[in-house]
Amino acid sequence: MSVDRSTTFTGIHFENPFLLSSAPPTESESNITRAFEAGWGGVVTKTIGLHPVVNVYGAKAKFMRTTPDDANVSMKKRPGAALHSSWNWELISDKTLEWWAPRIRRIKEAFPNKVLIASIMAGSGNDRELRHWQELAETAQGEGADGLELNFSCPHMDRRDMGSNIGKDQGLCSVVTEAVKEVAKVPVWTKLTPATQDMVVEAAACFRGGADAIVSSNTFPSLPVIDPETLEFEINVDGLVSSGGLGGPAILPLALAKMAQLTKAFPDKNFSGIGGVSDFNQAASYFLLGCGTVQVCTAAMLDSAVGPNVIKRLNAGLDAFLENHADKWSSVEDFRGARRDRVVAQSAIRRPEGDAYDGGYEVEGYAAQLSS
Ligand SMILES: Cc1cc2nc3c(=O)[nH]c(=O)nc-3n(C[C@H](O)[C@H](O)[C@H](O)COP(=O)(O)O)c2cc1C
């Protein structure tokens, strides 16, 4: 039986609802070409800006792994260790807008039915920077980009008026979104930082500015661990480190919590979910909470740089899911948000009564020891 993976999100038609997120997998024309050939429905380009970008010495991203016997989390490679997370302090694309423009055009000409979203970023706080946002938006859409993703979320910027510093300020979220919407002819998504008190506030500000969708999560602010033997951070330059971003499996539950807050606050709006997705099992949670598309970074980086096996697993998982639920659902749109209402306040969760109360120590080994 053939199923229909296609979906329409913010007015854009996707052959499947899976995108590579803005990150190394989408930093070049050759990567994006390989990604489309592998089957991704869309890509969000590595974030494009107008200011010069120079990354730090050495590795921009590394992977943390954990060992089953001692739950040790480390960047050191050990046999039998499983992926825990990615850690990065990579800035936005170090290629210019002039470099990107012809490439966006060529990619769209070669793949007219695939979706290319241009991720863009400029500063804030004055009209000149707002014009930079508009210039980036106009160029990208002029070259054929199907949509724009405004990066209000990079957690480690070398400028204070950019990235998550915009995403932490509801006034800036509104003003920048509105400035881009003034010139945009294509849908505008805003990618928010999860590192705020209440993302609902910034999401509301973006919607006030005219955003067509909210994208979440970018990486979470984090530090690598200190090696107890060398007393050095596992990644450092001249012994120094700065806050970077955590992605991959470790952030899945955190990103789901953020997404649930957003989709519950704005059940009629559009959301694209990111964080810890490597196959359909995780993607399903995002759809069931109300997302219309799902994006992937870390898992793809570890799979031939653009995730050919990841997209195969995502598509196969979606097919199997739709076949299993063929009696009630025939597309992503049909089950989008089907479990959103299951997230409630603690006070709304049922409690045992009288003798049935066991202190909640039912789970795993630790319970037996505590209650004896
Ligand atoms: C090395 C690296 C570079 C990234 N660069 C960007 C970027 O330029 N723009 C952006 O919006 N997000 C960037 N991200 C964040 C990812 O797009 C994504 O939101 C995050 O990694 C969480 O997804 P994951 O758990 O699938 O990795 C980057 C992530 C990594 C690991």
Report residue 43: phi and psi, to 5°: -135, 150
Q: Which residues line ligand 1 (CB under 6 A)?
A: 21-24, 46-47, 60-61, 86, 88, 90, 92, 119, 151, 153-154, 191, 218-219, 247-248, 251, 274-277, 296-299
Burial of 236 (0-12, 13-18, 19+ CB in 10 A): middle
The H-or-E segment that residue 84 falls in is strand 82-88
Separation of CA 220 and ligand 1 centre (Å): 10
87: number of Cβ within 10 Å: 25
Amino acid at 348: A
In whole angstroms, how far apart are CA 243 and each of 101, 293, 325? 31, 29, 43
Strands 61-66 and 42-44: unpaired
Amino acid at 70: D
* CA–CA separation, 39 and 41 (whole Å): 6
**Quick one: pLDDT at residue 365?**
58
Report residue 296: phi and psi, to 5°: -135, 135
**Quick one: pLDDT at residue 211?**
98
Strands 213-216 and 271-274: parallel
Burial string for 154-172 (b: 16+ CB within 10 Å, else e) reads bbbbbeeebbbbbbbbbeb
The answer to whether 146 touches 189, Cβ cutoff 8 Å, is: no
For the chain, 372 residues long, the average pLDDT of each consecutive 10-residue run is: 92 98 98 98 98 94 96 95 97 97 98 98 94 98 98 86 90 97 98 96 98 97 97 98 97 98 98 98 98 98 98 98 98 98 97 79 58 49
Q: What angle do CA 349, 350, 351 make, to 5 degrees?
A: 120
* CA–CA separation, 321 and 282 (whole Å): 12
**Quick one: pLDDT at residue 171?**
95
Q: Which two tokens stand for residue 370?
A: 């505590």
**Quick one: pLDDT at residue 359?**
73
The H-or-E segment that residue 18 falls in is strand 18-20
The answer to whether 95 touches 22, Cβ cutoff 8 Å, is: no
The answer to whether 155 touches 193, Cβ cutoff 8 Å, is: yes
Catalytic residues: 154
* CA–CA separation, 212 and 11 (whole Å): 9
Nearest-CA residue for atom 6 of ligand 1: 23
Separation of CA 290 and ligand 1 centre (Å): 21
The answer to whether 69 touches 81, Cβ cutoff 8 Å, is: no
Closest ligand 1 atom, residue 93 Cα: 8
Nearest-CA residue for atom 30 of ligand 1: 23
Q: Which residues, at least 6 apart from 172, have a Cβ–Cβ distance to it below 8 Å?
A: 124, 125, 152, 165, 166
**Quick one: pLDDT at residue 55?**
95
Q: What angle do CA 9, 261, 66 make, to 5 degrees?
A: 95
Asked if residue 22 has a cis previous peptide bond (ω within 30° of 0), the answer is: no
